[in-house]
A and B are shown apart, each in its own frame.
Chain A
Amino acid sequence: MDGLINGLYGIPVAGLAFQFGGYVLALLPILAQTTEAVAIPLALAAMCGVLCERSGVVNIGIEGIMLVGAFVGWIVAAGWALQFGTGDPLPLFGITPALVIGVVAALLAGMLLALLHAWLAISVRVDQIISGVILNILALGATGYLNTLIASHSPPGAGAFQALALPSQITSLPLVGWIIGALFGQGPIGILTLVIVVLFQVLLFRSRWGLRTRAAGEHPKAAETVGIDVIRLRYRNVIASGALAALGGAYLSMEQTNSFQADMSAGRGFIGLAAMIVGRWTPIGAYGAAILFAMGTALGQAISIGPPNGQLGDLLTLLPSQFFDALPYVVTIVILAGVVGRSIPPAADGRPYEREATT
């Protein structure tokens, strides 16, 4: 067997592909886990996008909401911990009251910001892309401003959520062990994300709310003629979507790390939008696309930490680290350009709906 593998590796050019395959297989558990971890905020951003656009509202401001979620979550948790102490973290996920309060605050802040966008897009009926851009600028400014203000006090964070430590009996199961390890070896927000994706998919296509949402996004007039209040529906959905994006932000500052940096979201909101498009505006599809985008980053991290041996490794170490930094964004562009021509958004996406005035 080893002889065969070495033989395969030795083939010029094509051998590189085999080496690469071998490298990935060897690292699969850790690679999968990292991919999932990177994908979580992307997936949440994509869920926010799917919810908004399925209802008929374009939301470019996901990035801003994530940033605000990250900041508010972190600062409220840190503030709470400062005032009341952290207490003993629960063994499960390392939950403390401070962290929970932080997440709740983040969700509320996200919903508030989303309300602003909803008002501008649905009632005032401005250009929805501009409204999203404003959201982003506001978020950047507000979080930067407040971050600078408190930087002088440099509060310690409130800690972070801990990932689930799965017993090795499960993770070493053949074939499925690594998947389970990847999906469930995450913190609470990460696992919650999985639940959200599945729940969202079911609700969108099998519940009354989902049916009405899809109708509002495709043909709001038809929905109105059967008595559905499209305006109210859109408001509720957009506000709820803010919670999703904010959750993604909270993940960044309270689960993946225990800190906040300026521009922490680093474009994830937009990658989430791309994932939504590639995933054809379905929760499961968007999640899959998020995994796709995350793979690039995860691979890059793995290679820089422990490159493969042999020819492939030599080749890869030639690539600058910035190559892997740029990879998720390049992948996004390539997939977007290849796919989008054949992707059809909800028919009424981005078009403000004016209720037929009863004359």
Chain B
Amino acid sequence: MTDPVVDQPLALEMRRITKRYPGVVANDSIDLDLRQGEIHALLGENGAGKTTLMNVLYGLARPDEGEIRIGGQAVTIAGPSDAIARGITMVHQHFMLVPVLSVAENVVLGDETMRGPILLDRREADRRIAALAARFGFDIDPDARVGTLSVGQQQRVEILKALYRESRVLVLDEPTAVLTPQETEEIFALLRRLAAEGGHSIIFISHKLYEVLEIADRITVLRRGRVVGSRSPEQTSEEDLAALMVGRDVQLTVDRGESHPAGPALVVEGLRVHDDRGQETVRGVDLEVRAGEILGIAGVAGNGQDELVEAIVGLRQASAGSVQLAGRSVTAAGARVHNEAGVGYVPADRHRFGLILGFPIEDNVVLTSYYRAPFARGILRQDGAIAAAASEAIARYDVRTPSPTVTAATLSGGNQQKVVVAREFDRDLVLLVLDQPTRGLDVGSIEFIHKQIIAKRNAGTAVLLVSAELDEVLEMSDRIAVMYRGELVATRDGRTADKNEIGLLMATGRHTEPQAVPS
């Protein structure tokens, strides 16, 4: 697109922003300029520092160094209301909308249009909202309850909040993360109009390369808290951006060796699963994992992996399809049946499904087998056997703790995960399911767990590894599948998989670059 933006005045400047947290520099001397009427994309992987930078902008975090200038004036932003008052509005990735309230109520909340001192002026609010929507070309019913709206429409309500307050700067955090392609196009059209006709300035945070190239006037790439590049779309390509995002650092890799897969241990056919809100997040998945191989499922979190995994281990009922373990159907069975059939599960949320934090380590070690020999005889628990198993697990899996009787809550994250691993790994397994197994862990624990997984595979277990960390999937998997919007969109051999291609598949569901958009 032709670009008068370069000559516009600066709406916002962030200079040398530095923010440190214990053990990590989240933002390291970051510079960001936003011109009036510009759509500026902020690109980076999880943990690159995008969220922290926006928290600083929105007043949710105080920078250790650096300054923010609005319209040339240096300002200190004290908090969200202050940011809003200065014309900056954030559209959060997880919508800050109250589902039971109407569109109008959500939009005016905090800045209500009044009739007299007490009562709301709904009619005026409705009128203004309708006018704003019409001006920028979309339809919205001010009286509709937000909870009934589609995600795309909710997105627009969030943007309406900003417009209603006459914000000049809009920050959109991963706005297309949950949108369908169609809704994405609609949002883009809206954003272009906001920038061009309304003179609004937009910061667009994303990790979706194709979209960023399509919508942004300029792109700033963050990696590990630093700006590693600033480009305009004509100057770059998806490969270039991907390389900037991911970097060329040498990663610690585990040599996973050859796999010798045998017969299928897990067969999933046509699986459909709904999440807690009733949305279908697994939309007809077929997959197969053979004994002695690791199938890695790559994908951005929230594309249905959690529900898929919960259905496979018996924690969630599938609405259609089947799950077979070593030839036996376990589709409708509960967790204990799966467990006894030889399924091990390392959950993504270890505090929810994996451990009982208030209980001692030894109870957590026997959590799934507490009811049978040798840990119980009838209803009597055999403390001796439990203690012995716990000591052995602690030694074998190198859990750092003074004793097996301290509560699991006292352990570090890495050691907590090791307890879960000790429990799930330490038996003959037909299938091992791991969901984000090394999220939030230190390097040492990560390496350890990876080695254990490979050992399990070599012993003949089928391993299903779900992870949002592309590097982990590439390193560990014999075969790689990509999950995108509830479906497995591709499968590749782990030895020959191309990182950029997988990254593209994770972000877009497509593996080839589309034709260049004519300018």
Query: Which residues of A does B touch, CB under 8 Å?
Result: 203, 206-209, 211-212, 214-215, 218-219, 221-228, 347, 356, 358-359
Q: Does B109 contact A (CB under 8 A)?
A: yes
Whether the pair A207, B120 counts as a contact (CB closer than 8 A) is yes
* A228 CB contacts on chain B under 8 angstroms: 109-110
Instruction: For chain B, give the interface size range.
Output: 20 to 34
Q: Given A226-B110, A228-B110, does the pair A218, B100 have CB atoms closer than 8 Å?
A: yes
Nearest 4 A/B pairs, CB to CB:
A226-B110, A227-B81, A222-B96, A219-B98
Residue of B nearest to A209 (CB): B118
Interface code B111-124, partner A: CB below 8 Å = 1, 0 otherwise? 11010001110100
Whether the pair B60, A211 counts as a contact (CB closer than 8 A) is no
A-B contact pairs, 14 of them (CB 8 A): A203-B118, A207-B120, A214-B101, A219-B97, A219-B98, A223-B110, A226-B110, A226-B111, A226-B161, A227-B80, A227-B81, A228-B110, A358-B62, A359-B62
* A227 CB contacts on chain B under 8 angstroms: 80-81, 84, 110-111
Whether the pair B97, A222 counts as a contact (CB closer than 8 A) is yes
Q: How far is B100's CA from A347's CA once the two chains are assembled, in angstroms?
A: 9
Whether the pair A208, B100 counts as a contact (CB closer than 8 A) is no
Q: How far is B63's CA from A358's CA once the two chains are assembled, in angstroms?
A: 11
Main secondary structure of the interface of B (DSSP, over half): loop
* A358 CB contacts on chain B under 8 angstroms: 59-62, 78-79
Whether the pair B59, A211 counts as a contact (CB closer than 8 A) is no
Within 8 A of A (CB), among B58-85: 59-62, 78-81, 84
* A223 CB contacts on chain B under 8 angstroms: 98, 109-110
Whether the pair A222, B118 counts as a contact (CB closer than 8 A) is no
* A222 CB contacts on chain B under 8 angstroms: 96-98, 106, 109
Further contacts, 20 of them, CB under 8 A, given A208-B119, A211-B109, A228-B109: A206-B119, A209-B118, A211-B120, A214-B98, A214-B100, A218-B99, A218-B101, A219-B98, A222-B96, A223-B98, A226-B80, A226-B109, A226-B161, A347-B99, A347-B100, A356-B60, A358-B59, A358-B62, A358-B79, A359-B62
Query: Which residues of B does A touch, CB under 8 Å?
Result: 21, 59-62, 78-81, 84, 90, 92, 96-101, 105-106, 108-112, 114, 118-120, 122, 161
Min C-beta distance of A234 to chain B, whole Å: 16
Q: How far is B111's CA from A226's CA once the two chains are assembled, in angstroms?
A: 8
Q: How far is B92's CA from A212's CA once the two chains are assembled, in angstroms?
A: 20
* B105 CB contacts on chain A under 8 angstroms: 211
Q: How far is B90's CA from A218's CA once the two chains are assembled, in angstroms?
A: 20
Main secondary structure of the interface of A (DSSP, over half): helix
Q: Given A203-B118, A207-B120, does the pair A212, B100 have CB atoms closer than 8 Å?
A: no
Q: How far is B358's CA from A264's CA once the two chains are assembled, in angstroms?
A: 41
* A211 CB contacts on chain B under 8 angstroms: 101, 105, 108-109, 112, 120
Q: How far is B78's CA from A112's CA once the two chains are assembled, in angstroms?
A: 34
Q: How far is B272's CA from A61's CA once the two chains are assembled, in angstroms?
A: 46
Q: Given A211-B101, A358-B61, does the pair A225, B120 have CB atoms closer than 8 Å?
A: no
Whether the pair B84, A226 counts as a contact (CB closer than 8 A) is yes
Residue of B nearest to A214 (CB): B101
* A218 CB contacts on chain B under 8 angstroms: 98-101
Q: Which of A218, A221, A226, A228 lies at the interface centre, i.e. has the most chain B CB atoms within 10 A of its CB?
A: A226
* B101 CB contacts on chain A under 8 angstroms: 211, 214-215, 218
Q: How far is B81's CA from A224's CA once the two chains are assembled, in angstroms?
A: 9
Whether the pair A225, B98 counts as a contact (CB closer than 8 A) is no
Residue of A nearest to B102 (CB): A211
Min C-beta distance of A196 to chain B, whole Å: 16
* A212 CB contacts on chain B under 8 angstroms: 109-110
Q: How far is B92's CA from A359's CA once the two chains are assembled, in angstroms?
A: 19
Q: How far is B118's CA from A226's CA once the two chains are assembled, in angstroms?
A: 19
Min C-beta distance of A192 to chain B, whole Å: 19
Candidates A206, A219, A221, A356; contact of B120 at CB < 8 Å: A206
Q: Given A218-B100, A222-B97, does the pair A207, B118 have CB atoms closer than 8 Å?
A: yes
* A347 CB contacts on chain B under 8 angstroms: 99-100
Candidates A207, A214, A359; contact of B119 at CB < 8 Å: A207
Whether the pair A208, B61 counts as a contact (CB closer than 8 A) is no
* B92 CB contacts on chain A under 8 angstroms: 225
Q: Which of B90, B97, B119 lies at the interface centre, i.e. has the most chain A CB atoms within 10 A of its CB?
A: B119
Q: Which of B21, B78, B105, B114 lies at the interface centre, i.e. has the most chain A CB atoms within 10 A of its CB?
A: B105
Q: How far is B109's CA from A218's CA once the two chains are assembled, in angstroms?
A: 13
Whether the pair A215, B61 counts as a contact (CB closer than 8 A) is no
* A356 CB contacts on chain B under 8 angstroms: 60
Q: How far is B117's CA from A203's CA once the two chains are assembled, in angstroms?
A: 12
Q: How far is B106's CA from A218's CA once the two chains are assembled, in angstroms?
A: 12
Min C-beta distance of B116 to chain A, whole Å: 10
Whether the pair A225, B90 counts as a contact (CB closer than 8 A) is yes
* B106 CB contacts on chain A under 8 angstroms: 222
Q: How far is B120's CA from A24's CA once the two chains are assembled, in angstroms?
A: 43
Whether the pair A215, B120 counts as a contact (CB closer than 8 A) is no
Q: How far is B112's CA from A201's CA once the two chains are assembled, in angstroms?
A: 19
* A209 CB contacts on chain B under 8 angstroms: 118
Whether the pair B119, A215 counts as a contact (CB closer than 8 A) is no
Residue of A nearest to B79 (CB): A358
Q: How far is B109's CA from A211's CA once the two chains are assembled, in angstroms?
A: 7
* A226 CB contacts on chain B under 8 angstroms: 80-81, 84, 96, 109-111, 161
Residue of B nearest to A226 (CB): B110
Residue of B nearest to A208 (CB): B112
Q: How far is B98's CA from A214's CA once the two chains are assembled, in angstroms?
A: 9
Q: How far is B444's CA from A253's CA once the two chains are assembled, in angstroms?
A: 70
Q: How far is B96's CA from A356's CA once the two chains are assembled, in angstroms?
A: 14
* B97 CB contacts on chain A under 8 angstroms: 219, 222
* B122 CB contacts on chain A under 8 angstroms: 206
Residue of A nearest to B95 (CB): A222
Q: How far is B90's CA from A356's CA once the two chains are assembled, in angstroms?
A: 16
Residue of B nearest to A344 (CB): B100
Whether the pair A225, B80 counts as a contact (CB closer than 8 A) is yes
Residue of A nearest to B107 (CB): A226
Q: Which of A214, A215, A218, A228 lies at the interface centre, i.e. has the most chain B CB atoms within 10 A of its CB?
A: A215
Candidates B59, B90, B96; contact of A219 at CB < 8 Å: B96
Candidates A203, A206, A225, A359; contact of B61 at CB < 8 Å: A359
* B61 CB contacts on chain A under 8 angstroms: 358-359
Q: How far is B93's CA from A221's CA once the two chains are assembled, in angstroms?
A: 13
Whether the pair A215, B98 counts as a contact (CB closer than 8 A) is yes
Q: How far is B82's CA from A225's CA once the two chains are assembled, in angstroms?
A: 10
Residue of A nearest to B92 (CB): A225
Q: How far is B99's CA from A205's CA once the two chains are assembled, in angstroms?
A: 15
Residue of B nearest to A202 (CB): B119
Min C-beta distance of B18 to chain A, whole Å: 14
Min C-beta distance of A209 to chain B, whole Å: 7
Whether the pair B96, A221 counts as a contact (CB closer than 8 A) is yes
Q: How far is B80's CA from A206's CA once the two chains are assembled, in angstroms?
A: 26
Q: How far is B245's CA from A82's CA once the two chains are assembled, in angstroms?
A: 83
Q: Which of A207, A209, A225, A227 lies at the interface centre, i.e. has the most chain B CB atoms within 10 A of its CB?
A: A225
* B21 CB contacts on chain A under 8 angstroms: 359
* A208 CB contacts on chain B under 8 angstroms: 112, 114, 118-120
Min C-beta distance of B374 to chain A, whole Å: 38
Residue of A nearest to B113 (CB): A208
* B100 CB contacts on chain A under 8 angstroms: 214, 218, 347
Residue of A nearest to B81 (CB): A227
* A225 CB contacts on chain B under 8 angstroms: 80, 90, 92, 96
Residue of A nearest to B84 (CB): A227
Min C-beta distance of B429 to chain A, whole Å: 38
* A203 CB contacts on chain B under 8 angstroms: 118
Residue of A nearest to B161 (CB): A226
Q: How far is B122's CA from A208's CA once the two chains are assembled, in angstroms?
A: 11
Q: How far is B61's CA from A215's CA once the two chains are assembled, in angstroms?
A: 24
* A224 CB contacts on chain B under 8 angstroms: 80
Residue of B nearest to A219 (CB): B98
Residue of A nearest to B90 (CB): A225
Q: Which of A206, A218, A227 lies at the interface centre, i.e. has the most chain B CB atoms within 10 A of its CB?
A: A227
Q: How far is B110's CA from A15's CA once the two chains are assembled, in angstroms?
A: 60
